[in-house]
Amino acid sequence: MPAVAGGLAATHGVVSHRHPWDASAAAAAERTDRGAAGTHPASGGHGGGINGPSFRKGRSVDHRANGFNPTDILRDFDWGKTRRLASGRVLREWEIVAFDKEIEVAPGVKFPAWTFGGRVPGPTLRCREGEALRVRFVNASGHPHTMHFHGFHRPAMDGIPEEGAGVIAPGKHTTYEFDADPFGLHLYHCHVGPLAEHIARGLYGAFIVDPKKGRPEADEMVMVMNGFNTNFDAEGNQVYAVNTVAFHHVNEPIEVSRSELVRIYLVNTLEFDPINSFHIHGHFFDYYPTGTSLGPTELTDTVIQGQGQRGVCELRFRFPGQVMFHAHKSEFAELGWMGFFGVR
């Protein structure tokens, strides 16, 4: 196991797993190999496979080579740089560089990604309602790209071909300017054709506009549901995940505290499959579709999202231990989209 994950294992110290379905007392007893997918003992005794899907044992993703760890992406919010304009408004600025990068999406499986800022999903851009936003976009990729934001803006700032700056050729740059409006959970992605390919290659990220008065204090995290069509046949994906690395939170459960409010910013960017879904075991959450309202529409344990749909989930974990979460589409779950919360 690379040092990145090993370090997390040491600091967080959660129980180990052999399989997603293995959250039993027996598995919990094997605390020593936590986080080290590379040292999982072979599953002995049973016929195999009944404990749920599993990557090949003894292998793990090299997060250091990837340049990012999905565990860090969860709570990594990019607030950019701010300054106050003469009018008294806050101007918030980011610089996003797109470049091509090979990333490991499952142990031993490399994917030639196109990235915003070297990671998939791209940085989670966060701001407050009413601010003036300025995104300087530099295209260092070998392919033409744009940044297309969801939110109110003029067509010239839409980040699509033949509008405003249009397609940004390799080596070129542009600046998108718009207001943080409306508050809610949005996203951004490249809008160059073929659209499916530019998105499926990894050019997307979450865009959060906080309401003026903010939301209640919580342990916040971003989950971008995505997938990788590694053989490029444009027919579904071979790998499914939240924040790119399949089964990552099976090996590194997400640390949360019992009774503390947890807020999950859930975005679906999955290409090629019509819908995605999200399900938490043993608990229910308040759901705020698109995050544009401060009142939840539903108390549920499962939501379905089409591509580009997103919503805010809020819950308090009642019981300590391993709490599973996964797409309630078994195929996606068994192809990598599942994980655990480690509730303390």
Interface ranges with another protein (CB under 8 A):
42-43, 46-50, 53-57, 59, 105-111, 228, 230-233, 238, 246-247, 331, 334-336
Phi/psi region, residue 171 (left: phi>0; alpha: psi -120 to 50; beta: rest), is left
Render 216-249 in DSSP notation, one character per residue. ---EEEEEEEEEE-TT--SSS-SEEEESSSTTHH
104 DSSP assignment: E
Q: Which residue has the tokens 């094997």?
A: 30
Q: Choose between 64 and 81: whose C-beta lies nearer to another protein.
A: 64
Shortest spacing between CB 16 and another protein, in angstroms: 16
Q: Choose between 142 and 171: whose C-beta lies nearer to another protein.
A: 142
Shortest spacing between CB 228 and another protein, in angstroms: 7
Determine the Cα–Cα distance for residues 96 and 56; give it in Å rounded to an integer: 36
Q: Choose between 60 and 141: whose C-beta lies nearer to another protein.
A: 60
Shortest spacing between CB 29 and another protein, in angstroms: 20
Shortest spacing between CB 166 and another protein, in angstroms: 31
| Angstrom distances, CA of residue 264 to CA of 228, 280, 312 | 22, 11, 6
Q: Choose between 46 and 84: whose C-beta lies nearer to another protein.
A: 46
Q: Choose between 108 and 171: whose C-beta lies nearer to another protein.
A: 108
Phi/psi region, residue 76 (left: phi>0; alpha: psi -120 to 50; beta: rest), is beta
Determine the Cα–Cα distance for residues 172 and 139; give it in Å rounded to an integer: 6
Shortest spacing between CB 45 and another protein, in angstroms: 10
Shortest spacing between CB 321 and another protein, in angstroms: 24
Q: Choose between 280 and 335: whose C-beta lies nearer to another protein.
A: 335
Bridge partners of 262, per DSSP, are 219, 315
